[in-house]
Amino acid sequence: MQKNKKALVLLNMGGARNKDELKMFLTNMFNDENILTINIDFIRSIIANFIVKKRLDSAWENYEKIGNASPINPLTEKLVDKCNEKIEEFKTYQAMRYTPPFANDVLEQIKKDGINEILLFPLYAQFSTTTTKSSVQDFIGNIPYEGFTVKYIEEFYKNDKFNDCIVNEVIRNIDDKKEYNLIFSAHGLPQKIVKKGDPYEEQMNEHVEILSKKLDEKGIKFKSINLAYQSKVGPLKWLEPSLEDMLKNFKDENVIIYPISFIVDNSETDFELDIEYREIAHKLGISEYKVCRCVNDSDEFIEAIKDIIKN
């Protein structure tokens, strides 16, 4: 029994530890009605299986370039350990949407620990139906019995301590003697999802405005500050501008990338941003290309979590 403690559950998408888990990740993701927005489960399952078969081998080749596993798992474990060390009123757990540990297993552990108050903390600063809603819906849907009180953090991109984490990471990566173009790179979404009312794009624009103002207040000047979207797949129209198109503006210039939609480093940061887009930047003639790390398990982010959950 964890006397007088509440459960703080960190929610995220998950990431593969091997090729079998990559298949699991892709299968679960494309069967998610918030991702593949097809109302009929049977049809969505057929399409999902087709996509997985088509993409698995090429996706695994990308994983091989980052050590055969996503960094999200060890980094999240470190984050959980630090939260348990420094946030006394909560016992912290993690639950992933598409790979272990899954919500049902985490709920079983919370029950064994004798805790009945749960605060869900989706590790997505901006709300989207494809991330926050999907993860919260999945967790609550796995509660098999009454007796739990569940609340969740909807978004936290306006939190000042969290934004200090981002600004400080950007500052750590710049050379005072050079001019940089700062690009906040966000995971893309099909435009049809935004048109249905998803607030992600609006919140992303507002978040960039907040961070731009904070950088200006600190006297940190950039040649330009931009927002672009990465990770487009398939034939649908996605949010624009794409990161590749944005990079075309900066031949012979210096670029620094901050992965604004991610809290913990993963395949999208370590492969896409640090390898795939770096190669594109090199081909485009960009002089210097830097990628910032996510907030991960930093002490600064632990303090931000404390601030976010205190209300």
Q: Where are the domains of the chain?
A: 6-156+299-309, 160-291
pLDDT digits (tens, 9 = 90+) for 200-233: 999 999 999 999 999 999 999 999 999 999 998 8
Q: What is the CATH number of domain 160-291?
A: 3.40.50.1400
Q: Mean pLDDT over all residues of the chain?
A: 95
Q: Can you tell me the distance from the alpha carbon of 38 to that of 153, in angstroms, rounded to the nearest whole number?
A: 27
pLDDT band at 3 (very low <50, low <70, confident <90, very high): low
Through-space distance between the first and last CA atoms of the chain, rounded to whole angstroms? 25
Answer yes or no: same fold for 6-156+299-309 and 160-291.
yes
Q: What is the CATH number of domain 6-156+299-309?
A: 3.40.50.1400
Q: Is 234 exposed, middle or buried (0-12, 13-18, 19+ CB in 10 A)?
A: exposed
Annotated binding-site ranges for Fe(2+): 187, 268
Tell me what percent of the residues of the chain surpass a pLDDT of 90.
86
Q: Does pLDDT of 101 surpass 60?
A: yes
Annotated binding-site ranges: 187, 268
Can you give the pLDDT at residue 2?
56
**Alpha-carbon distances, residue 178 vs 83, 175, 221 (angstroms):** 37, 6, 10
* Pairwise pLDDT comparison (306 vs 35), residue with the higher score: 306
